[in-house]
């Protein structure tokens, strides 16, 4: 029999009053936050050589910026341990490189949030989950690193729902979205290595996401059948706002193994999905998205007064991805079922992903 752990001696009512005070000040995403003191803040700042006043990301249209200090305070409030802070800092670098956040995407009616992908040895060191329930709850590092970004959005940038955050519905990742790649059960090169980083490096990739669409394909061992399910999910017309879109395919290890067993590389899957993530012209017409606006390039009906033809008006079959690079591929989840997901990312993309290295303080 295990002895019950010794209970800490604290005044619980007093600690609840502190948490309630944070609520009263509006410094929360709706869940309780961890109180922060100067000494706790110092523990976080000791994890980096960067100046506490260094600006990590600014939103010029709001005249507001996130400094290292503000990022640390919000990481502590989110429940991070100090040793997570280098990952949070890398996340801000990746968000800045990605470019949508400084341009106000977190305020948009689309209701996006930013999902973070972590690669490299830091995953093991801080207990980041890459396996069962990878998009779900249950792991402190995943939950609090993602939440650190959201609390900063609320507290440093003032993006409160209904005010400066105009998300029509938002999405569940607005609480927290941080996953790790399951490099150990991937048959392929890890994501960060594919993009030029050393396998011993740890990195954070930032992607603005709209939703995570679930793929069931437990029935097949045929790569093309699985890849068509993925392509069909990417091509759904409801996802089309811009002329073309982008996606990150998060393959479960079983699906990745299925593809690799048949000799498929990531590039083979990317090429197949690019070719097959399509809609017929007839289908686009049926949903009123068969042309684009001459002003915004958003999809609309060819009958609309702003309509101009899309990039390939003579094609009967229209690709939803503008390039092969608009589809990224990662491996995540448990090796226990034929399940994968498509992270619906925002924007047409196509260039290299926004990846930042995790820097150590020493």
Q: Which residues bind other proteins (CB under 8 A)?
A: 62-64, 107, 158, 162-164, 166, 305
Q: Closest Cα partner for 319 from 362, 280, 289?
A: 280
Least distance to other proteins, CB of residue 160, Å: 8
Cβ proximity to other proteins, 85 vs 157, nearer residue: 157
Cβ proximity to other proteins, 2 vs 63, nearer residue: 63
Based on the number of CB atoms within 10 Å of its own CB, is 28 exposed (0-12), middle (13-18) or buried (19 or more)? middle
Written as one string, the DSSP assignment of 240-295 is -SBSSBEEEEEE-HHHHHHHHHTT--HHHHHHHHHHH-EEEHHHHHHTT-SEEETT
DSSP code for 2: P
Based on the number of CB atoms within 10 Å of its own CB, is 195 exposed (0-12), middle (13-18) or buried (19 or more)? middle
φ, ψ at 312 (rounded to 5°):
-135, 65
3-state secondary structure 178-243: EEECCHHHCCCCCHHHHCCCCCCCCEEEEEEEEEEEEEECCCCCCHHHHHHHHHHHHCCHHHCCEC
CA of 260: how far to CAs of 13, 167, 257, 344, 348, in Å? 56, 39, 5, 24, 28
203 close to 119: Cβ distance less than 8 angstroms: yes
Least distance to other proteins, CB of residue 304, Å: 9
Cβ proximity to other proteins, 129 vs 152, nearer residue: 152
Provide the Cα torsion 25, 65, 241, 214; round to 10°: -60
Cβ proximity to other proteins, 266 vs 299, nearer residue: 299
CA of 94: how far to CAs of 101, 136, 232, 257, 318, in Å? 10, 22, 29, 29, 32
Least distance to other proteins, CB of residue 298, Å: 9
Residue 360's CB is within 10 A of a number of other CB atoms, namely 12
Cβ proximity to other proteins, 185 vs 243, nearer residue: 243
Cβ proximity to other proteins, 300 vs 329, nearer residue: 300
Alpha carbons 212 and 240: distance in angstroms, whole number: 15
Residue 119, C-beta contacts closer than 8 angstroms, at least 6 positions apart: 180, 181, 183, 190, 191, 192, 193, 197, 202, 203, 204, 205
Least distance to other proteins, CB of residue 109, Å: 9
Least distance to other proteins, CB of residue 101, Å: 17
Cβ proximity to other proteins, 107 vs 142, nearer residue: 107
Cβ proximity to other proteins, 163 vs 316, nearer residue: 163
Least distance to other proteins, CB of residue 299, Å: 12
Cβ proximity to other proteins, 220 vs 301, nearer residue: 301
Least distance to other proteins, CB of residue 167, Å: 11
Least distance to other proteins, CB of residue 234, Å: 25
Least distance to other proteins, CB of residue 99, Å: 21
Least distance to other proteins, CB of residue 305, Å: 6
Cβ proximity to other proteins, 102 vs 158, nearer residue: 158
């Amino acid at each position: 029999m295990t002895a019950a752990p010794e209970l800490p001696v604290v005044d619980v009512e007093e600690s609840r009053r502190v948490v309630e005070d944070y609520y009263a000040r509006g410094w929360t995403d709706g869940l309780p936050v961890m109180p922060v003191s100067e000494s706790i803040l110092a523990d976080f700042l000791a994890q980096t050589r960067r100046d506490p006043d260094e600006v990590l990301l600014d939103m010029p249209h709001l005249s507001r910026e996130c400094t290292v200090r503000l990022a640390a305070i919000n990481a502590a409030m989110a429940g991070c341990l100090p040793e997570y802070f280098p990952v949070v800092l890398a996340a801000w670098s990746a968000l800045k490189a990605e470019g949508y956040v400084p341009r106000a995407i977190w305020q948009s009616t689309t209701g996006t949030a930013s999902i973070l992908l972590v690669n490299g040895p830091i995953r093991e060191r801080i207990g980041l989950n890459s396996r069962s329930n990878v998009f779900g709850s249950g792991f402190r590092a995943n939950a609090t690193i993602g939440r650190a970004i959201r609390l900063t959005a609320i507290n440093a940038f003032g993006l409160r729902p209904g005010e400066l955050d105009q998300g029509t519905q938002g999405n569940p990742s607005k609480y927290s979205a941080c996953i790790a790649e399951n490099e150990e059960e991937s048959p392929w090169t890890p994501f960060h290595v594919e993009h030029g980083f050393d396998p011993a490096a740890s990195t954070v990739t930032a992607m603005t996401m709209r939703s995570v669409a679930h793929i069931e394909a437990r029935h097949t061992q045929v790569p093309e059948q699985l890849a068509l399910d993925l392509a069909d999910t990417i091509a759904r017309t409801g996802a089309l706002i811009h002329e073309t879109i982008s996606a990150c395919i998060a393959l479960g290890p079983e699906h990745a193994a299925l593809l690799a067993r048949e000799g498929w590389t990531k590039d083979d899957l990317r090429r197949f999905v690019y070719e097959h993530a399509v809609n017929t012209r007839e289908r686009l017409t049926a949903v009123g998205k068969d042309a684009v606006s001459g002003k915004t390039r958003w999809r609309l009906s060819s009958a609309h007064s702003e309509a101009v033809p899309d990039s390939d008006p003579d094609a009967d079959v229209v690709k939803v991805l503008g390039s092969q690079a608009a589809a990224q591929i990662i491996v995540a989840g448990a090796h226990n079922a034929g399940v994968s997901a498509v992270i619906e990312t925002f924007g047409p993309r196509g260039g290299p992903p926004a990846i930042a290295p995790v820097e150590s303080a020493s």
